[in-house]
Amino acid sequence: MILDDGVNPPQRPEDVDPKPYRRAFEAIVARDDIELIGMWAGDELIGQLQLTVTPNLTLGGATRGLIEGVRVRGDLRGRGLGTQLMTYAIARAKSKGCRLVELTTRRPQAARLYERLGFCQTHQGFKYHVQSDAFEA
Ligand SMILES: CC(C)(COP(=O)(O)OP(=O)(O)OC[C@H]1O[C@@H](n2cnc3c(N)ncnc32)[C@H](O)[C@@H]1OP(=O)(O)O)[C@@H](O)C(=O)NCCC(=O)NCCS
């Protein structure tokens, strides 16, 4: 299940082709260096993100964590859950040997949350869309 991101128009389940998502999910769970972290209320998914841990030849060989796809369920935003989820992900990255945690966002509200957590803006982000029909990510 993927939570709505609050920007792209919500799609009806019947309009979404599940196959590419399933393929991506299966590829992710087969790898040890990527974790899908979910926040649950009972059996309901209320928050999620993806954490990728990558060894790196720069910065003295520092392992890095990359956080992507941060989502809290729409009706539960603004109550501290995103902060809890991110705090957990940072601790998890640290426990897996990361010396740095990185992410990108183009959403000013989300940027405020990340800055409050101690992230600082360093680089200019670029993306190259290999396919012309790629999503705006
Ligand atoms: C960003 C997001 C994960 C934060 O989760 P959250 O549970 O609302 O976060 P918290 O309650 O811990 O913190 C609230 C802060 O989140 C940020 N925020 C971003 N979008 C928000 C939203 N739609 N509603 C409320 N807060 C939001 C704000 O900085 C807010 O703090 P503020 O009081 O300074 O405005 C969540 O709002 C969300 O899923 N948004 C849609 C998807 C998205 O933007 N993901 C990030 C992409 S990089």
| Cβ atoms within 10 Å, residue 85 | 21
108 CB less than 6 Å from ligand 1?
no
The full set of domains in the chain, from first to last, is 37-116 (3.40.630.30)
Whole-angstrom distance between the N-terminal and C-terminal Cα of the chain?
19
Contact 79, 37 (CB under 8 A): no
Mean pLDDT value of segment 69-77: 97
The ligand 1 atom at the shortest distance from the C-alpha of residue 113 is 29
Q: Decide the pairing of beta strands 98-102 and 63-72.
A: parallel
Residue minimizing CA distance to atom 14 of ligand 1: 78
* pLDDT band (50, 70, 90) for residue 2: confident
Q: What is the 3-state secondary structure (H, E, C) of 13-74?
A: HHHCCHHHHHHHHHHHHCCCCEEEEEEEECCEEEEEEEEEEECCCCHHHCEEEEEEEEEECH
How far apart are the CA of 69 and the centre of ligand 1, in A? 12
Q: In angstroms, rounded to a whole number, what is the distance separating the alpha carbons of residues 30 and 23? A: 11
Contacts of 34 (CB under 8 A, 6+ apart): 28, 50, 51, 52, 53
Residue minimizing CA distance to atom 46 of ligand 1: 70
Mean pLDDT value of segment 81-90: 98
* Higher local confidence (pLDDT), 61 or 7: 61
Q: Angle 105-41-43 (CA atoms, 0-180°, nearest 5)? A: 110
Residue 10 reports pLDDT greater than 70: no
pLDDT at 113: 98
Task: For the chain, give the mean pLDDT.
Answer: 92
What pTM does this model have? 0.91
106 CB less than 6 Å from ligand 1?
no
How far apart are the CA of 96 and the centre of ligand 1, in A? 26
| Cβ atoms within 10 Å, residue 84 | 13
pLDDT at 132: 75
Residue minimizing CA distance to atom 33 of ligand 1: 78
